[in-house]
Amino acid sequence: MAEIIDGKATSLAIKDEIAEKVKQIVNDGGKVPHLAAVLVGDDGASQTYVNGKVKACEYVGFKSSLLKFDSDIPEEDLLEVVDKLNNEDDIDGYIVQLPLPKHISPQKVIERIKPEKDVDGFHPVNVGRMVLGLPAYISATPFGILKLLERYKIDTEGKECVIIGRSDIVGTPMSNLLSRKTYPGNCTVTLCHSRTKDIKSLSRNADIVIAALGMPEFLTGDMVKDGAVVIDVGVTRVPDATKKRGYALKGDVKFDEVAEKASYITPVPGGVGPMTIASLLYNTLMASQKAIYS
Ligand code: GUN
């Protein structure tokens, strides 16, 4: 039976470390880190995420600013907001919550963000620097997974790692990070996707499996080997009348079956999810210390 990788507890431990660091900075007369979040429209999930980020800022002692705009804000106006945030010295880092309304190009917005303030790590400069192994902001989910592997002292060197899903924000950066010549890393990575012929034959030989394709309970017990480390990135809302909110959160892993065979496994909820906010706070702390771009 697998040991559960507790993302909630790990995230809390990281937040406490960040809070401690903020106290030290303030005691030494330094600047309180300041994160801003831009929210466009009234998407329920986005509001929940952004509120969580603001609350987390309060917890660690950061300043936070929430900038809300109607869903019909013209693209040009949003780009001006981005320009203002780029030039506002008190703001160390900021995020523009995605998805954006259809008439706004997320790529245009992301490319307008100053890389030094891009604590989401979405700007091509940060992605490129990450690929080259240069100091960079690494986006929240891959960074959270690295931190979990590190804190649970999972051996990664020389291991076969299968990643299922090639999204820009999880699968692709994850494949890069785990093949880097460092810890956690030095894995032999196979990146599977919708055109992969036989995922099962690959995942069954993997020491580490990262499921990030967004298909509830895709990874079943027969797809993993005994002792594998399994990281579940999926969070799909599946209708469930027995739940007060009308849905249940399902991961990409059939938890009970896979937990029987794995050595470590992340649950959903309470695994990778809570780590993303800790990653964002960490990046903001780095931004305030000018630790990535000096
Ligand atoms: N929407 C869902 N996840 C994220 C995230 O990590 N950053 C931003 N900006 N938007 C998101």
pLDDT digits (tens, 9 = 90+) for 46-104: 999 999 999 999 999 999 999 999 999 999 999 999 999 999 999 999 999 999 999 99
First to last CA, the chain: 46
Residue 24 lies in a domain: no
226 Cα–ligand 1 center, Å: 34
Rounded (to 5) percent helix, strand, coil in the chain: 40, 15, 40
Whether 212 is in a domain gets the answer: yes
Mutating to test ligand 1, I would choose from 38, 49, 50, 66 the residue with most ligand atoms within 8 A of its C-beta, which is 49
- Please indicate, yes or no, whether residues 236 and 162 belong to a single structural domain of this protein: yes
Q: How many domains would you assign to the chain?
A: 2
Instruction: Confirm or reject: Cβ of 120 under 6 Å from ligand 1.
Output: yes
Q: Answer yes or no: is 104 within a domain.
A: yes
What is the percent of the chain where pLDDT is above 90?
A: 98
The two three-digit tokens of residue 144, written as one number: 């959270």
Confirm whether 103 is domain-assigned. Answer: yes
C-alpha–C-alpha distance, residues 32 and 23, integer Å: 9
Q: Are residues 268 and 146 in the same domain?
A: yes
Contact (CB, 8 A) for 276 and 119: no
* Best mutation site among 98, 107, 113, 236 for ligand 1 pocket (most ligand atoms within 8 Å of CB): 98
Record the pTM: 0.95
CATH number at residue 66: 3.40.50.10860
Domain extent at residue 88: 29-114
Q: Name the nearest CA neighbour of 82 among 49, 107, 52, 101.
A: 107
